[in-house]
């Protein structure tokens, strides 16, 4: 029968057989990998998938005859890649074990899945034995490309071909029994290539089995460096003998290759780190510096204080789990929970109170009860009185639509002098606003303090609630002609050592005798940037010895200060 004992035949004879397949249109009878004879479907000369498979298989066999056989001792297979492929082949993909899985159909260059160097790629043989899986790979620089493939114990029946953009085979893989893997190695120039996976024995016994491959190059580093590191909490206070405190170290970006960090304590007798915990020692203070293990140019610090036994640790922060409560009717209740920091504070109890018990009351377990319609504030205060957190409470009638629109203490109009606008709402809300006429929903800043208006301005604002949001409302303010009369710069002169920074402060006095801090609105320049540099916020830095001036400009007024760097 045709193809009987195909694994034992020389490749040349297999080519003759393939030639026969192209010249006739028979029913395929062959021997599968277990030695059993099976009958496959009839070869259809009009079946594009089948013909593409046979064409590529023929090219693969030609390449196998012509290429120099790779010897195990001459290979540089990365055992970590092979091991990782084997591990990933047997587990489900997740955030710790990412996998790239083929997307069918990917049986041609135009339908190829895009992969990258060092991706762990997995797929299956489908459509009987003649499935082709194409993967598009872009190489950023000249290098030696290496590819490892495994096939769940059937590696010798798998083939990986490297193709150029014209679908021409550049190199095919070899089975390396010592590594139990298919391996391909080929010097390539920067550009786009295609890896194609196919089965080399005509049996659907392998259909559905998953294969894995990884393409890599020792000439190209695909490591992703750490660009920033942070830690929470960054301040810790202990009493001698306290239990260690957990810390959370964040390395960015999240896909950085090396996820470890180094640490150094300026006083190791006071505190050290082990297993992401700060371990207190003897009384004193220390600064623990954390840096990325990969040598990235960034760091973060933990400031640690260990107090003697018998000391107290005060509460430094209280956080409530609810920012605001909206009761649609009276006699409803909801409990608020308070989190105290640090977790080892001596007295973590809080005292609850209501600013207006006629609107809402609060018990000492944090349960708030609506008493009447209106607004009030619930407070949670530490026993020592050092810290406080608040929760806004609004009790409204659900049968009446509350007014959600923000209000201003100044109506639209013309004013002789600059004004300070206060925005309020009938119910607690987050208020957003813009001063340039743009949409506050998209571009708004959150309202936190009085808004100073000293020139003609369009103020747009809206409010967000847990139960909805308001419409956008606009206020038009025209400030009658007010000009800058003078600028005052602090300090008036600067004498700096080398490599020192100093922040300027600029106050504008207007013709109506009002004053305003305009530090962040000024334009700055240095007459000699080899001596002094100044940024857009007025921060000055000495970079070389000498003398120069810093010019400040705002509202048509200019003023300078002299600088000496020694």
Listed in order, strand segments (DSSP E) in 97-234 are: 100-101, 113-115, 120-124, 133-139, 143-150, 158-163, 169-172, 174-176, 181-188, 191-199, 210-216, 228-232
Residue with tokens 């004013």: 415
Other Cβ atoms less than 10 A from the Cβ of 377: the count is 16
- How far is the CA of 130 from the CAs of 7, 32, 43, 72, 367, in angstroms? 17, 14, 11, 29, 69
Question: 10: pLDDT confidence band, cut at 50, 70 and 90?
Answer: very low
Q: Mark whether 53 and 111 lie in a shared domain.
A: yes
Does residue 24 carry a pLDDT above 70? no
Computed on alpha carbons and rounded to an integer, the radius of gyration of the chain in Å comes to 37
Q: Domain range holding 300?
A: 228-307
Residue 462 within a domain: yes
Residue 394 within a domain: no
Other Cβ atoms less than 10 A from the Cβ of 131: the count is 21
Q: Mark whether 203 and 104 lie in a shared domain.
A: yes
Q: Mark whether 235 and 381 lie in a shared domain.
A: no
pLDDT in tens, 109-163: 999 999 988 888 888 887 666 789 999 999 988 999 999 998 877 888 889 999 9
Please list, in sequence order, all residues whose beta carbon lies within 8 angstroms of the beta carbon of residue 168, skipping any fewer than 6 positions away: none
Does residue 69 carry a pLDDT above 70? no
Question: 83: pLDDT confidence band, cut at 50, 70 and 90?
Answer: low
Residue 392 within a domain: no
The answer to whether 288 and 271 are in contact (CB under 8 A) is yes
Q: What is the pLDDT of residue 284?
A: 94
CA distance 546 to 526: 13
Q: What share of the chain is helix, strand, coil (3-state, %, to 5)?
A: 10, 45, 45
CATH of the domain at 303: 2.60.40.1080
pLDDT in tens, 439-459: 999 889 999 999 999 888 999
Please say which residue of 284, 307, 330 terminates a domain: 307
CA distance 107 to 282: 67
pLDDT in tens, 554-563: 989 999 999 9
**pLDDT, mean of residues 245-262:** 89
Indicate the length of the chain as a whole number: 566
Q: Please count the structural domains in the chain.
A: 5
Does residue 262 carry a pLDDT above 50? yes
Chain centroid to CA 181: how far?
35
Q: Mark whether 296 and 418 lie in a shared domain.
A: no
Residue 402 within a domain: no
CA distance 99 to 124: 14
The answer to whether 315 and 273 are in contact (CB under 8 A) is no
Residue with tokens 């069918």: 104
State which H helix or E strand residue 464 sits in. Answer: strand 457-465
């Amino acid at each position: 029968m045709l193809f009987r004992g195909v694994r034992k035949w020389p490749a040349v004879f297999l080519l003759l057989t393939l030639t026969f397949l192209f010249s006739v249109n028979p029913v395929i009878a062959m021997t599968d990998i277990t030695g059993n004879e099976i009958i496959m479907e009839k070869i259809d000369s009009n079946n594009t998938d089948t013909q593409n498979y046979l064409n590529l298989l023929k090219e693969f066999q030609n390449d196998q005859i012509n290429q120099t056989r790779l010897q195990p001792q001459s290979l540089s297979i990365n055992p970590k890649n092979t091991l990782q492929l084997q591990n990933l082949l047997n587990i489900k993909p997740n955030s710790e074990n990412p996998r790239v899985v083929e997307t069918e159909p990917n049986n041609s260059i135009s339908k190829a899945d895009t992969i990258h160097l060092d991706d762990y790629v997995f797929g299956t043989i489908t459509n009987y034995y003649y499935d082709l899986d194409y993967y598009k790979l872009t190489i950023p620089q000249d290098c030696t490309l290496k590819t490892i493939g495994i096939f769940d114990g059937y590696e010798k029946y798998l083939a990986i071909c490297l193709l150029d953009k014209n679908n021409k085979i550049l190199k095919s893989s070899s089975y390396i029994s010592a590594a139990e893997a298919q391996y391909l190695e080929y010097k390539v120039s920067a550009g786009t290539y295609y890896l194609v996976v196919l089965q080399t024995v005509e049996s659907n016994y392998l259909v559905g089995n998953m294969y894995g491959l990884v393409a890599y190059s020792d000439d190209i580093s695909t490591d992703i460096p750490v660009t920033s590191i942070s830690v929470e909490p960054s301040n810790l206070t202990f009493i001698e003998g306290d239990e260690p405190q957990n810390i959370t170290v964040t390395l960015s970006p999240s896909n950085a290759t090396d996820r470890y960090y180094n640490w150094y304590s300026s006083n190791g007798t006071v505190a050290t780190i082990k297993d992401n915990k700060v371990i207190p020692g003897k009384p004193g203070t220390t600064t623990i510096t954390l840096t990325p293990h990969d040598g990235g140019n960034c760091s973060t610090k933990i400031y640690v204080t260990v107090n003697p036994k018998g000391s107290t640790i005060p509460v430094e922060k209280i956080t409530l789990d609810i920012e605001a409560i909206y009761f649609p009717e009276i006699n409803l209740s909801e409990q608020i929970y308070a989190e105290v920091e640090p977790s080892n504070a001596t007295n973590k109890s809080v005292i609850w109170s209501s600013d207006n018990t006629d609107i809402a009351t609060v018990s000492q377990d944090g349960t708030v009860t609506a008493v009447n319609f209106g607004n009030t504030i619930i407070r949670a205060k530490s026993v020592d009185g050092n810290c406080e957190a608040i929760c806004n409470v609004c009790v409204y009638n659900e049968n009446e639509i509350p007014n959600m629109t923000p209000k201003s203490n100044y109506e639209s109009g013309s004013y002789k002098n600059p004004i300070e606008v206060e925005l309020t709402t009938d119910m607690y809300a987050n208020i957003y606003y813009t001063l340039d006429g743009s949409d506050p929903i998209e571009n708004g800043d959150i309202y936190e303090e009085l808004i100073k208006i000293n020139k003609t301005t369009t103020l747009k604002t809206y409010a967000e609630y847990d139960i909805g949001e308001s419409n956008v409302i606009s206020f038009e303010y025209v400030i009658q002609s007010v000009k800058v009369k003078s600028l005052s710069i602090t300090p008036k002169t600067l004498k700096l050592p080398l490599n020192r920074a100093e922040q300027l402060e600029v106050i504008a006095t207007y013709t109506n005798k009002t004053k305003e801090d305009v530090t962040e609105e000024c334009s700055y320049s240095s007459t000699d940037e080899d001596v002094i540099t100044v940024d857009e916020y007025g921060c000055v830095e000495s970079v070389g010895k000498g003398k120069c001036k810093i010019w400040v400009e705002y509202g048509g007024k200019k003023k300078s200060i002299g600088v000496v760097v020694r």
